Structures are given as structure tokens and as C-alpha cells.
Amino acid sequence: MSHALERVRPSLPTITAWGRHLAALLPSGGRLLACGNGGSAAEAQHLTGELVGRYVRDRMPLSAIALHADTSAGTAIGNDYGPDELFARQVRAHGRRGDVLVLLSTSGSSPNVVAAAKAAHEVGMWAWALTGPAPNPLAAVCDDAVTVDAPRTSTVQEIHLFLVHALCEALDERLDAIGAPR
């Protein structure tokens, strides 16, 4: 894992930039949507939980939705439109121009996550990805991506959790710096 962490270190300025972007967007009514499958779904929900709740310090709640968490919508969409539309349909419903979609995928090739990134562009959202090794289809269709060069899914997921926490830290630091309401 230490090798993968060293290889992702050059991407930390990207994560910091994402945090700054979110600090400008979320307090003014913007929204973050997040999605992934399996362990990546858990990471997406971890991110949204940190934003709606708090990361370290108390602050205002921020609008963030984990798209897999609405099981009734998910099962209906999967049944009526197929599994590849699971997240894309929700992006079209909840996403607004200027909002951000964070997509997590250890392979970077999950069809439903790639379709969600494309749907984000349709509605004018930013699409940012955390993936496993590059190149991959998800990183290719997103506005920005941080790829983790590691051979094991578990290592990619561990680095993704580190990056989720780094994103939350960057966001909170920027909110503090601009004096955002708590």
C-alpha cells in the first residue's frame, strides 16, 4: 500500500482544488452527488455522510447525495431501464448545472458509473472520478480523475478512503479560510 500511496501523492493538488471548488459551490446551494458499486458505493456514501454531517469540525450541513442509497429508486430503475441506467437516471433527476458528481470505481470500467459521468455532462455538471489504474473508460469521460496505480482492489479502496478524507479536509480548510457560516 505504501507504494500506491507514494504514486498518488502528485494528485493531492487536484484533491485540494476539488475541495476549494466544493467550498465555493456547496454553501451557496450547489449539490454533490456520488456513486460507485460495492466497496466504492460505501466510499461514496462515506463522502456524502461527511458532508451532510461533519468531517472533523462542526459546520453547516452541505447537500450531498449517495445515489445508491435510495434502494426503492435503484430497484425500480434497474427493473424498468436496466442496470446501466441505475445512476445516470438519478443524475438527470437530481443534478443541476454546475453541481458536482464524484464517481468511484476500482476498475474504472463499470458501465453504470461511466453512464452516470456521461449523464452529468448532459445536465452541465462536473464529473470527477477516483479510479484504479489508468487508462480506463471512466477517467477518459470525466472532467478530472485521480487514478490509483495498485494491482489489488483492496489497496485501491484504501487509497480512495484516504483521498475522500483529504477532500473533506481541503473543503473544511477552505470553508474556514473564507469564513463560511457554521
Give the alpha-carbon dihedral of 144, 150, 152, 158, to 10 degrees.
Answer: -60
* C-alpha cell of residue 120: 452529468
pTM given for the model:
0.97
pLDDT of 85 strictly over 90: yes
**Contact (CB, 8 A) for 67 and 36:** no
What digits encode the pLDDT tens for the residues 35-56? 999 999 999 999 999 999 999 9
Per the rule left: phi > 0, alpha: psi between -120 and 50, beta: everything else, 70 is: beta
Mean pLDDT score, 123-138: 98
Measured distance CA(20)–CA(102) in Å, rounded? 15
Mean pLDDT score, 122-127: 98
Question: How high is the pLDDT of residue 181?
Answer: 81
pLDDT of 2 strictly over 90: no
Cβ count near 171 (within 10 Å): 27
**Contact (CB, 8 A) for 33 and 65:** yes
